[in-house]
Each structure stands twice: as C-alpha cells, then as structure tokens.
Amino acid sequence: MARLLAETADLLEIDGGDSFRIRSYRRAAESLEQTTVDVTEAAGDTALLLEIPGIGKGMAANLQSIAATGSLPLRDELLAKYGSAILDLLKLPGMGPKTVAQLWSAAQVASVDQLAEAIEDDRLAGLPRMGAKQIEKLRKGIEDYRRSSGRFRIDDAEEAAQRISAYLLAFPGIERVTPAGSLRRGRETAGDLDLLVTGPACQPEHTHAAVEYVAAFPGIHDIIAKGENKVSFHLASGMQVDVRLLPSASYGAALQYFTGSKAHNVTLRQRALKMGYTLSEWSLARLDDDSVIAAATEEQIYTALGMDWMPPELRENLGEIEAAARHALPRLIDLADIKGDVHMHTTATDGHNSILEMADAALARGYRYIAITDHSKNLAMTNGLDEKRALEHIRRIREVDRQMEGRIRVFTGIEVDILADGALDLDDDVLAQMDVVIASVHTRFEQPREEMTARVLRALENPFTRILGHPTGRLLLRREPFALDLGAVLRRAAELGVAVEHNAAPERLDLCDRDLRLARELGCRIAINTDAHDTRHLAKMEYGLRQLRRAWLGPEDVLNTLGAQEFLAALRPR
C-alpha cells in the first residue's frame, strides 16, 4: 500500500499535479511504512484508518480501494496516460519526478528504452540539467538497470510470499505454503517466486476450487496461465508468481526440485542415476521398475541417496553434495548465535528512534550489546555529527548504557566517512573515545579503481578504524559496486585486525556471499550488522544471516556471536 501511494505521488508530480496533494500521498506512504496497524484488517473500519497519522478521509478511501481491489484508480489513470514503464525511469540515478516530467515534455520519453534512444539520437543535449556528465551518468545507469531488470530484492520477494501465503492459508483444505526457488536458497535477489501448496484441497480430485481461489488473489495484475494444479500470474510490481498445488505424497520431491539450484539438481540427478534411480519433481524412483523410493520429504530423498539433508542456502553445487555424502556439512550460523548488532543510527542523525528506544528494541530481541554509530559530518544530508556534537553524543550514549543497568551494553560508536583522499571525517582524538569506529565510503563512488583502492587502504591504516562498513558500496538493483581491488583491501584488513562488515540491510547485503567466502579465506574478522535506522530494521539481521550461510560461515567465523567484552577484545586494539 505504501508503495502504491508513493508511486501515485511520483506520477502526480510528473503530471504537474497540486503540490499539496502530492505531499499528502507521500506523507500517507511514510505513515504506512511506520505504522504497526494491520491496514488490511483496518480497512473495514474508517475510524481505525483515521487514527493513523497522515491519513484523512480521502486517503482512507484510497486505502479501502487498495484493500478491496489491489489497485488505486488515480494511479491506474495516470499509468494509462504515461504507460507503466515511466516508473522505471525513477530507478535510474539522478532521476526524480521533475526530471522525468522534463523528459516527457521535451522528448516524449516514458521508458528506459525510450531514454536510451533519446541519448543515442542526441536529443537530450541542451535540456536544463542535462550536461554531458549527467547524460553519461544516465547511460551507465541504463546499463546497470538492464543488467538487473526483472529481479527483485530478497525482502520484496519475502514480503510478497508472506502476503500471498496468508491469503492461501485462509482457504479450507490448504494446510501448508512453502516458498521454493531463489527465496528459499536465500539469494540476494529473485527473478520470480515459487510457492508450493499442500493439504487436502490439493488432492487431484479437489484442486479445481483451490485453483479458482488462487486465481482470485486481489493482488494479481494479470494471469499468465491457469491449469489443473498451477496458477502463474504477475503482481503489480512485475514479479512473476508460480503457485503449485501438490499432493502431500510428492511434496518433498517437488520441494527439492523447485528449490534448486539448477546446477545442484543436475549433479544430484547424476548421482541418482549412478545408484540406479531417477529423480524428478514427483519422486525418487527405481530405474528398473519405477517403484517409488522416496517422495514425501526432502530428508527421505537425500537419505536414500546416501547423504545428509542440507540447508537450502548451500545448494549451489559448490561442494555441498560431496560434503553431505561424507557427512561433513558445516554447522551454519543462525539467528540464535547473534549476541549483538553494532551498526545503527538514531535521531541524532538520520534515524527514526532514540538511543534508548534502540537499546530497548535490541534487548527485546535478546541481544547482549549494541553500538550506536551515527553518521559523521561529511554526510550533511543526514545531519552528520561534527566533533563537538560527536562528543556530546558519546556522553548521551554512556548515560543510556548506565540506565540499562547491565541488562544490555550500549557501546559508543560512529560511522565515520572515508573522505576522497582516504582520511577519516573526524579528528583522531574524538575517534579515540569511541568503542566502535566503522569507516565507510558514502561519496565519490566514481573514482578509478586505483584511487578507490588507495583511498580505502589509507582508511584502514588509521589506528582507530575497527570495522570497514559495507565495503563495496553497492545498492542492489540500483548501484553497482564501486571499482575496488577487494582482494588487496581484505588482505590488508586481515593484517591490521580491522573487521569487515556484512551489512544485512536488504538493499545492500554487502559483502556478498562470494566475497564473504574470500574474506574468510584471507583470515578477515567478519561482523554482521543491520545498519538500522529504525527499531524495526533490527529484524533485517535475518537477510544478512542467509548470506553468511550461503558463504558456509559458522558461529566461529562471525564476531557478533561473542559476548560483549569478548566482542570488543576481538576488534583491533584501540
């Protein structure tokens, strides 16, 4: 709902709509992102909707329309005028609604492809704010967008899976809905969403009613296909969803098959053939007489093939089949192992909650410690801290630490900017007073590889740098990693004892699983953090943990599994 309202605000701004009306949609979208009210349930009671800040009678009616139809008439009307592809332009760097409106007015550009044509035809030259540098930036942005087009972040895929699953489980006779594919394997992005459904309603003689119920899901944009036991459709976001209704007897075989990966499945089928079996989405069966050996559970299938069952995150044909056959799979890290989160922001800069609120939320999650790491002054847009404010912030953090009376430790910290030349953004005598100093690149991403590598290496040399934050600077599906000799950076970090961060925010997931494996191989200390800007963001730790698991990391590989004092002692000495 928040996304639909925000998109409507963007479309109104492109259309030259009333500024007050645009602000009302944006404010409503922000309120929905913050509210704890289940807006779908509240849609039946206007009074409940009106209790949400930023929601008036008109906006309440809009929410009721979305709850009933999965759409918003004004948004549909504007998309009919400009075409749905116009929203894709907003995913390009430096493209806000005003720029999109300018491109539409001057060159009738309403899609990424049309923008690419306009650039090639030199039709943007001379337009306001369209100098050579901006046009080149757009050209590169289009290349990045086309590489990632058709994929969705893990949190978007999971939110869609939860929403559809809740709808499906309301149907009598549907007992279980399980995501498969990329989402189950924990990949950082997904191309589509596979949902496997079981229960009495999924028996062959009963599937007709269940299929019709699936096809009536209110969030469907268009139906691709509808068969006896499968419905494929697009959501408004463009995500393709395949819902398969399965008899319980073949659930395990289908779950194994549709979880993948393709490479894992190919190797597993080859193993089955060598043992005299055939493995399909229906069963593991004998080659000679087609008798079923296993089908109901994944565990039965892997056991019959002489292997241990393996976590889905490992199924990428990177040695997991051989390890499972040797009964030598690693014990992977999980949420229960995490004792603290040491990268988060408060109202002192660009966060939404106070120090105390972040500490209380972390305590409720069972953490033993956190670090408050607000931004430094170079990020003016975030109200970053200068030296004077940073010292005052240290005092406030220590006061909250005392207030918690040992129930949870609250460490002092900062996320200090790595400046263009590699210097840090605050004086050393201020950094010296921090428990946790995270050094991060937030600007000048376009530096050549040699310059960026030298920049980050110089930051590592600063004796007060204890953690390198989101080391490659990527934003998934929005910004490619900056040019960097990551191997050189990780090797030097390992030598100096500087920990490298896996940033669990689903828009970053930086380092990626491949780079996490490299970091461990090079002897780096690894910390996982959420980079939370809101108490609810602490829950995003789970997305990062999936990447650690995909990298085969166990509790012993990650600093946050240590207790409070052990964690500090494991960081580079101050």
Spell out the domain ranges in the chain.
Answer: 2-127, 152-246, 252-325, 335-570
Please state, in angstroms and rounded to a whole number, the distance separating the CA atoms of residues 248 and 520: 41
Q: Please give the CATH superfamily to which domain 335-570 belongs.
A: Metal-dependent hydrolases (3.20.20.140)
Tens of pLDDT along 203-259?
988 899 999 999 999 989 889 999 999 999 988 888 899 999 999 999 999 999 999
Task: Give the CATH number of domain 152-246.
Answer: 3.30.460.10
- Sequence-distant (≥ 6) Cβ neighbours of residue 472 within 8 angstroms: 481, 482, 484, 486, 510, 511, 512, 515
Indicate the pTM of the whole model. 0.81
The pLDDT mean for the chain works out to 93
> Considering the domain 252-325, what is its CATH architecture?
2-Layer Sandwich (3.30)
Tens of pLDDT, residues 468-496: 999 999 999 888 899 999 999 999 999 99
Residue 429 has a CB neighbour count (10 Å cut-off) of 10
The sign of the dihedral angle between the CA atoms of 537, 543, 545, 547 is: negative
* Distance in angstroms (rounded) separating the CA atoms of residues 59 and 120: 42
Q: Specify the DSSP class assigned to residue 321.
A: H
pLDDT band at 432 (very low <50, low <70, confident <90, very high): very high
What φ, ψ does residue 15 adopt, rounded to 5°?
-80, -5
Average pLDDT on 375-403 reads 96
Q: Number of C-alpha atoms within 13 angstroms, CB side, residue 369?
A: 20
| CB distance 149 to 477 below 8 Å | no
Question: Cα separation of 269 and 267, whole Å?
Answer: 5
Q: What is the pLDDT of residue 288?
A: 93
Q: What number of other Cβ atoms are within 10 A of residue 500's Cβ?
A: 25
The CATH fold of domain 2-127: DNA polymerase; domain 1 (1.10.150)
| Alpha carbons 336 and 6: distance in angstroms, whole number | 36
Q: Tokens 């609250």 label which residue?
A: 410
Radius of gyration from C-alpha coordinates of the chain: 26
Residues 390 and 427: their CA atoms lie apart, in Å, by: 10
Q: Is the bond preceding residue 250 a cis peptide, omega within 30 degrees?
A: no
Say how far apart CA 184 and CA 308 lie, in whole Å.
18
Count CB atoms within 10 A of the CB of residue 20.
7
Beta strands in 154-259 (DSSP E): 176-179, 189-190, 192-198, 220-226, 230-235, 240-246
**Segment 350-373 mean pLDDT:** 97
Which amino acid would we find at residue 530? T
Residue 436 phi, psi (nearest 5) = -130, 115
- pLDDT tens string 78-89: 998 988 889 888
